[in-house]
Amino acid sequence: MTAINRLKLLGYAADAWRASHGGPAAVAARQRARLAELVRFARGRSPLYRERYRHLPAEIDLRALPPVTKRELMADFDRWGTDPAVTRAGVEAFLADERLVGRQYLGRYVAWTSSGISGERGVFVQDADAVALYGALTLVRGLVAWMTPRRLWGMLRLGDRVANVVATGGHYVSASMMEVARRNRPWPFDRVRVFSAMRPLPALVQELNEFQPAELIGYPTALTLLAGEQLAGRLAIRPALVGYGGEWLAPAARRRIIAAFGGPVRENYGASECARFAWGCLRGGLHVSADWAILEPVDEAYRPVPAGEASYTVLLTNLANRVQPLIRYDLGDSVTLLPGGCACGSPLPRVRVEGRRDEIVYLETPSGEVVPLLPLALASVVEEAAGVQRYQVVQTGPRTLRVRLETTAEADGEQVWAAVTHRLGEYLDAHGLPMVRVERGAEALARHPLSGKFRQVWAELGGGSPA
């Protein structure tokens, strides 16, 4: 991080602290000013927004602006951005090179991919200001806010080592942000290491035992598996802080994680579209950084959903990133805005996020041993194959995975399938699962029967599944 960006980060951190302590009016004033500036900028520099907003008056209300979807933005990528040098072809070439994870695209941007809850691949470019801001919010709302004297002592005693268990091998926001954080975090919060959720569990356990993290961050499914290892005595770490994000944390899994590592556990909510914009508080609330992001819970017709009710989807406006403005962007998550204030006293709005509900799948080795596979790891093995548009991985038997695939318009379906089976084969071999059969599901991708949401990885072993 350059000295200028480090100064920016500290400036944003000071402003975030003042906003958090300034009450609702201080937050609202920042949101209003930043939104007006963002809309003005997008109208001036983004051909896509200029066209969409051409019939709207100069001074507009947020709710009067037409929402945008991932599919629309991806289809019109080159006209969406505010820097003509940013092109879909250029970003894809950058992303195709795994050695460039955490490096800068065009020497000034970061680029992230994600499939999100919709299951559709998206590509997002963020500018240096936005990245500095995400770092500042992490510092002020994710770290300093959590530092009781006891926890601070616990962190420093363990050399403030931060372990992040994430999907690796692609330009995912968590791994990429950690690469950035590893270089950027100011002392004494700079000992960050990424641990691959793609590794077999015994190897991951050994690496964590050697590292002895003060802070353990991961997806709920990864933390659940690690909690089991800790309770069984194979994992022996004493993190002062455990944090999660990216998936829904089931109450039973939360209890298990607390039993293994102590509590409370910190939640964060973010996406490739807007990293880490909501942080959990010590009273169990999840607070949206409303000074930098606007979340509007809405129904299927994009009408506002009242507080206390779970939304169908949520519209995100990212007030920080200028290179690809996101204004009323359909994020796909079900979010509930919680009425009333939080016991912690924060003026930031409190939400509950449904989150991804993918499942750990348990497969059998030739000798009958059971090996757990993390959904985020399986998902990234499949979605990083070139030409994959959407997919689902369903465990249909103790040694069978069924993959449903949608490929991009340009791709050759057979080639994509060959790439997916090759990648999965390598991954399964590495986990001692060479007997697992990967079959192609010809049926269409399905939504979850209860939530209506799209899921990517789960087990369907009931009824007539093969023995």
Q: Give me the residues that bind Zn ion (CB under 5 A), please.
A: 281, 283, 285, 342, 344, 346
Residue 346 CB, shortest distance to Zn ion, in Å, is 5
Residue 344 CB, shortest distance to Zn ion, in Å, is 3
Task: Answer yes or no: are the C-beta atoms of 388 and 420 closer than 8 Å.
Answer: yes
Q: Which residues pair with 351 in a beta bridge?
A: 337
83 vs 45: CA distance, rounded Å: 8
Residue 111 or 281 having the CB closest to Zn ion: 281
Three-state DSSP state, 292: coil
Residue 343 CB, shortest distance to Zn ion, in Å, is 6
Residue 255 or 283 having the CB closest to Zn ion: 283
Please, is 268 exposed, middle or buried when counting C-beta atoms within 10 Å of its C-beta (0-12, 13-18, 19+)?
Answer: buried
Residue 136 or 342 having the CB closest to Zn ion: 342
Backbone φ, ψ for residue 372 (5° rounding): -85, 140
Residue 342 CB, shortest distance to Zn ion, in Å, is 3
Residue 176 or 346 having the CB closest to Zn ion: 346
Residue 174 CB, shortest distance to Zn ion, in Å, is 23
Residue 131 or 342 having the CB closest to Zn ion: 342
Residue 128 or 344 having the CB closest to Zn ion: 344
405 vs 217: CA distance, rounded Å: 31
- Cα distances (Å, whole numbers) of residue 83 to 113, 127, 425: 19, 10, 41
Residue 143 CB, shortest distance to Zn ion, in Å, is 16
Residue 119 or 245 having the CB closest to Zn ion: 245
Q: Which residues pair with 313 in a beta bridge?
A: 298
* CB atoms inside a 10 Å sphere around CB 256: 19
Residue 283 or 448 having the CB closest to Zn ion: 283
Look up residue 101 and give its two tokens: 């994870």
Residue 281 CB, shortest distance to Zn ion, in Å, is 3
**Number of alpha carbons in the 13 Å side-chain half-sphere of residue 69:** 11
Q: Which residues pair with 165 in a beta bridge?
A: 195, 218
9 vs 404: CA distance, rounded Å: 43
Q: Which residues pair with 126 in a beta bridge?
A: 110
421 vs 439: CA distance, rounded Å: 9
Residue 352 CB, shortest distance to Zn ion, in Å, is 12
Residue 281 or 381 having the CB closest to Zn ion: 281
Task: Answer yes or no: are the C-beta atoms of 320 and 312 closer than 8 Å.
Answer: no
Residue 285 CB, shortest distance to Zn ion, in Å, is 3
DSSP 291-359: TTEEEEEE-TTS-B--TTSB-SEEEEEESS--SS--SSEE----EEEPPS--TT---S-BEEE--B---
317 vs 326: CA distance, rounded Å: 5
